[in-house]
Amino acid sequence: MRKPSDGAAQRTRRAFLTKSAALAGGGAIAAAGGARAAPLAIPQSNQEPGRTIEETAYGMPSKYEAHVRRRRTDVFKNRQNLSDWSMTPLQHQPGIITPNGLIFERHHAGTPDIDPDRHRLVIHGMVKQPLEFAMDDLTRYPSVSRFHFHECSGNGLTDWLKPASTTVQQTHGLLSGVLWTGVPASTLFEEAGIDPRGKWALFEGADSSAHARSIPLEKVLDDAIIAYAMNGEALRPENGYPVRVVIPGWEGNTSVKWLRRIKVGDQPWHLRSETARYTDPMPGGKWRQFSMVMECKSVITSPSGGQKLKGPGFYEVTGLAWSGAGKVRAVDVSFDGGKNWREATLEQPVMDKCLTRFKVGWNWNGGPAMLMSRAVDSTGYVQPTVADLQKTRAIVGFVQHHNAIQPWAVNQNGEVRNAINQA
Amino acid sequence: MQSTRHKLLLVLVAGVFSGCAGMGGAPAKSSTGIYLGATGPHPVQPLADKPRFGKAISEADVAAWNIDVRTSDGAGLPPGRGSVAQGRQIYAQKCAACHGPDGKGGAAYQYPGALFGGIGSMTKVPRILTPGSMYPYAPVLFDYTRRAMPMDRPQTLSNDETYALTAYLLSLSGLVPADAVMDAQSLPKVQMPNRDGFIVDDRPDAKAVRCMTNCK
């Protein structure tokens, strides 16, 4: 019985080989001026009409792309699927935008089905005038659209000290790139009028966990978005339909989905979600609290775990880099386990708190190699190794905020394996 | 009116960003010491163009939604009360199916299972996380139970039931006596072992260097 992740890895490998073979084939023709065993036949698709246009439709990917799926966590398995998560297939994602059907999920009590005509958002507490908004009200305000990465604080939690995951979907798939559209949160706060004592805002969901987080007002007024759309359409139910807050660059759960209530206060609430959960174990039995910024990080998505190189020759090594503290300034790639590094090319545009695509050409000589990427952000922060993080944190149990360098080991057969903390 | 609001926001924004280096500079922190990462600028249309679509309501209108408790001092705890004995009965009816008999953990419940134990484990491996070992403030138990439990019927417990369950779970951890009654006055006074177990985000903490050749 094959595990689902094995199937994904095999199909990934097939896609990768096909791409490599095409490159190699082109090279062979140019170099040798040779001929095929049989001339190219006219494809069947040239010789018969295609499908007609449907009167209405929501377009779906090709049936040949059916292996590109969001997958529920299968390394750390939850005993129920209400408070659970599913992961984005980053190994199949070109560019910096994740299609809506592939954006990772993390819910605390399942996905609600909310009628937008009945949904209400309120802002109250330390405000001059408590206000209620219907969805029709929110969509009438001047809107903003911004590209941002979205990452769960638990991304990578299964793979700190030794490899547990096979694919980059399993190691890094609690990550997506999204164009969010909505009202700047500052618009609604300004309309309600903030009491001068107000320093924090509580955001609370209409889901069955009523998930809530305390966020400093400085961040809310700077760049938070009350979002009703993503990537050119309404939010998907699993991503907060009909409205959520987006806290750019901060751990995903602060961007409370199915948003029903905002309350302004002078102190944080210290809820379970910010004491017993979403805190980081530290030396001496301590816990780091309100660690909400997602620090600078990168990962090579191709070649990545579970894939296989076709043979020696040229490969474009590519991946994603991001930082919740600003823009990606540079990404370096090592092929020898971190001894020597080459600066990669950053694909434009490079945006604030957004996925950035990096690329570097590599001629594989057929021998063992250890691939790593290391990002630097606009504050000068350099992506650390696990060993660097261990100097200040306690890596015990269910540890969040893993932004360490991800090594991928390539053996002489071209097989790519997760080598976290092994380099 | 518009200009008054305009001034208010400008004052507020100027106040909160004073001393903030923003993008490219030192890490920005909030006035309450929280690491913010980079800030602005994010151009927004001039306030004079802004319409107002919010419907004025009163705090009373939000009463049924206003379920948060500021757990450090219990602000927001509602009227009502409940005893350990009452909580034991409610637990058996509404909680045991998932959490197991007597809070010991059940088949449907996620790691770590038991609802008590683990006090003193924070300096050991593994740290055993339960309400008694982990929560810094006892009202966390009330807030979370009221907003999210029981998982199949959340926000259906009465305040008395929630206080009773809180009392029972605290008694399982040995943090209140078997005859304890919890209410808005008594619950915030329960001393939790992990009260001083938290430090506010002090990142960035890693000090990696961008070495390019012959590293390590």
pLDDT in tens, B99-110: 999 999 887 665
| A contact residues 318-377, partner B, Cβ 8 Å cutoff | 323-327, 330, 332, 338-341, 343, 352-353, 374, 376
Return the ∠ at Cα A230 (arms to A12 and A125), rounded to 5°: 130
Sign of the Cα pseudo-torsion (A122, A125, A126, A129, in order): positive
Task: Name the domain count of chain B.
Answer: 2
- Give B62-67's long-range contacts (Cβ < 8 A, gap of 24+): B62/A122, B62/A124, B62/A130, B62/A261, B65/A122, B65/A204, B65/A260, B65/A261, B66/A124, B66/A261, B66/A263, B67/A210, B67/B143, B67/B146, B67/B147, B67/B155
Contact yes or no for B175/B83 (Cβ under 8 A): no
Which of A202, A222, A398 is facing B68, going by the closest CB pair?
Answer: A202
Q: Is there a single domain that holds both residue B46 and residue B98?
A: no
Q: What is the DSSP letter of B95?
A: T
Q: Is there a single domain that holds both residue B86 and residue B48?
A: no
CB pairs under 8 A between A and B: 296
**pLDDT tens figures, B182-211:** 999 999 999 999 999 999 999 999 999 999
Question: Any chain B CB within 8 A of the CB of A392?
Answer: yes
Q: What are phi and psi of B92, to 5 degrees?
A: -60, -35
Q: Is there a single domain that holds both residue B121 and residue B179?
A: yes
The CATH homologous superfamily to which domain A105-288 belongs is Oxidoreductase, molybdopterin-binding domain (3.90.420.10)
Contact yes or no for B9/B47 (Cβ under 8 A): yes
Dihedral angle at the C-alpha atoms of A218, A223, A225, A230, nearest 10 degrees? -150
Q: Is residue B69 part of a domain?
A: no
**pLDDT tens figures, B135-171:** 999 999 999 999 999 999 999 999 999 999 999 999 9
**Which residues of A are less than 8 Å from B61 in CB distance?**
122, 130, 132
Q: Is residue B214 part of a domain?
A: no
How many Å is the Cα radius of gyration of chain B? 23
CA-nearest of B98, B8, B48 to A129 is B8
Distance CA A260, CA A267 (A): 20
B159: domain range? 81-189
Q: Is there a single domain that holds both residue B145 and residue B93?
A: yes
CA-nearest of A249, A246, A252 to A377 is A249
Q: Is there a single domain that holds both residue B89 and residue B177?
A: yes
**pLDDT tens figures, A204-258:** 999 999 999 999 999 999 999 999 999 999 999 999 999 999 999 999 999 999 9
Residue-level pLDDT at B2 = 40
Q: Is there a single domain that holds both residue B163 and residue B87?
A: yes
Q: Is residue B66 part of a domain?
A: no
Q: Is there a single domain that holds both residue B135 and residue B183?
A: yes
Distance CA A416, CA A307 (A): 6
Q: Is residue B45 part of a domain?
A: yes
User: Within 13 Å and on the Cβ side, how many CA atoms surround B114?
Assistant: 13
B35:A122 CB<8 A: no
Give the H or E element holding residue B184. none
Residue-level pLDDT at A22 = 39
Q: Is residue B48 part of a domain?
A: yes
- Supply the CATH number for residue B146's domain: 1.10.760.10
Q: Is there a single domain that holds both residue B86 and residue B183?
A: yes
Residue-level pLDDT at B27 = 64
**Which residues of B are less than 8 Å from A392 in CB distance?**
205-206
Interface test with B, best of A76, A146, A264, A293 (most B CBs within 10 A): A293
Domain A297-418 grouped into CATH 2.60.40.650: yes
Residue-level pLDDT at A32 = 52
**Regions of chain A with pLDDT less than 70:** 1-32
Q: Report the side by side order of strands in the sheet with A280-282.
A: A280-282, A286-289, B198-200
**Domain residue ranges in chain A:** 105-288, 297-418
Residue-level pLDDT at B111 = 54
CA-nearest of B199, B168, B37, B212 to A294 is B37
Q: What is this structure's pTM?
A: 0.90
A290:B151 CB<8 A: no
Residue-level pLDDT at B43 = 65
Q: Is residue B171 part of a domain?
A: yes
- What the block records as the tokens of A76 is 């750390």
> What is the rounded average pLDDT for all residues in chain B?
86
Any idea which residue has 């403030």 for tokens? B137
**Which residues of A are less than 8 Å from B136 in CB distance?**
270, 275
Q: What is the DSSP letter of A250?
A: B
B213:A327 CB<8 A: no
Q: Is residue B198 part of a domain?
A: no
Q: Is residue B94 part of a domain?
A: yes
pLDDT band of B3, cuts 50, 70, 90: very low
**pLDDT tens figures, B16-41:** 433 333 444 456 888 888 899 877 67
Assembly ipTM: 0.90
